[in-house]
Amino acid sequence: MNRRMRASIFQPPALFPPPALPVLVALCLLAAQPARAQAAGDTQTTGDTQTAAAPMQRCSLEEYRQHLAALRTIVAACSAQRTAAACSKAQVGSDNEVVTPGGLRQVHYDWLRVTLSEAAEGKTAADAKPAAGAKPATGQAQQSPPEPIETRLSAASERLAQDAQASPASPASAMPIDPVRRNLNAVLAEHQFQRIGRPPNLLQRAEQALLQWIIERLSRVAAYGGRNPWIARLLEGGAIAVPCVLLLWWAMVRMRRQAALESAPAPPAPTAPSAREWQRWMQEAEAFAQQQRWREAVHHVYWAAISRLEAHGLWPADRARTPREYLALLRADHSLQPDLRGLTRSFERIWYGHRPAEEQQYCEARAWMERLVPR
């Protein structure tokens, strides 16, 4: 086997002829160039709208406030100078991780970096021009006019000031817990909170046990009544019959009392004061008064009053009573009780006390007797 045959056996056949290889390489390069340009454009667009995540720096509350004050100075300088150096976003520094009494609080400043970058470039967020040949979406509302960069810088300064005022309070300026605890203890010491959390006493336990026993018995009766309908009918009949019986009994008692009042009183005993008419007692009193026998005149005026009251049924006739007993027969709240008391005292002083009587005492006794009109 010669050398040419061995080379033809061990050498692979060529896929493309040698003149076609340069043409194939050129076509591949032309096809890859638009893809690289599109990727570069996407990378540029992403870099314009997004910012790489800044590193976090842990700081205290005082350091956080100092950082906010420095950022406000940077924003003021950028607003006044509007140069690339004054509006450099590198001045913002790292984001903060503030140590507060309630834990860690992360504060990001990406919005401030974007605002400073746009201020350095002299544009607003709405100044980005759409790509060539791009068309707005169908039905999309017209965008609002762009916001000036001066307004955004002023808003950034106000936001930093508000963040400084609303920063978490330090433990030294926090509200002390002792006044809060005292107020809470004062509220819990009021009467309506005294029984909360206390075990019931013996009386309360007995009351609860009694109520529970009554409820259990009523539940059993209700369950038994559900199984026996005649019990419900019996209870309904009793609820109607009992008030009717009580009403009938009350009416009978009232009728009997009325009949007893309307019946004629029994004739008084011969020795009772009412056995003689009170007008006759008064006539004899006037006769003694004309003779200036004032003691006998007051005596007859008193018994005229007793006869008058006894004849109208204020008490049963009985001559054996003393003047004090006649007075006790009237209730303390009776309308005639004050006049009868005054007449009784005057009569006792003059008749039983052997005091001398004058015309004045007789006139007073007569006035009391005239006011003793039975009602």
Q: What is the full per-residue pLDDT of the chain (375 aa) written as tens digits?
A: 444 444 444 444 444 444 445 545 555 555 545 444 444 444 443 344 344 566 788 888 888 888 888 888 988 888 888 888 888 888 888 888 888 877 788 888 888 888 888 888 875 444 444 444 444 444 444 455 556 777 877 887 788 777 777 655 544 445 568 888 888 888 877 776 766 666 778 898 899 999 999 999 888 878 877 788 887 788 888 899 999 999 999 999 988 888 766 555 555 555 567 677 888 899 999 999 999 999 999 999 999 888 888 888 788 777 678 888 888 888 888 888 888 898 999 888 988 888 888 899 999 989 998 888 765
Q: Is residue 120 in some structural domain?
A: yes
pLDDT score at 129: 44
Indicate if 152 and 257 belong to the same structural domain: no
* Number of domains within the chain: 3
Residue 80 lies in domain: 51-126+147-165
17 alpha-carbon distance from chain centroid: 97
Sheet of 103-107, strands arranged across: 56-59, 95-100, 103-107
pLDDT score at 213: 94
Q: Is residue 170 in some structural domain?
A: no
Last residue of a domain, one of 136, 165, 194: 165
pLDDT score at 291: 93
Indicate if 62 and 153 belong to the same structural domain: yes
Q: Which two tokens stand for residue 41?
A: 């454009």
Q: Is residue 246 in some structural domain?
A: yes
Q: Contact at 8 Å (CB) between 61 and 100?
A: yes
Place of tokens 């990727």: 39
Indicate if 288 and 253 belong to the same structural domain: no
Q: How far apart are CA 257 and CA 195, in angstroms?
A: 54
pLDDT score at 24: 52
pLDDT score at 321: 83
Core vs surface per residue 163-183: b (16+ CB within 10 A) or e:
ebeebeeeeeeeeeeeeeeee
Indicate if 327 and 253 belong to the same structural domain: no
Eight-state DSSP code of residue 200: P
Place of tokens 């970058």: 117
Indicate if 258 and 353 belong to the same structural domain: no
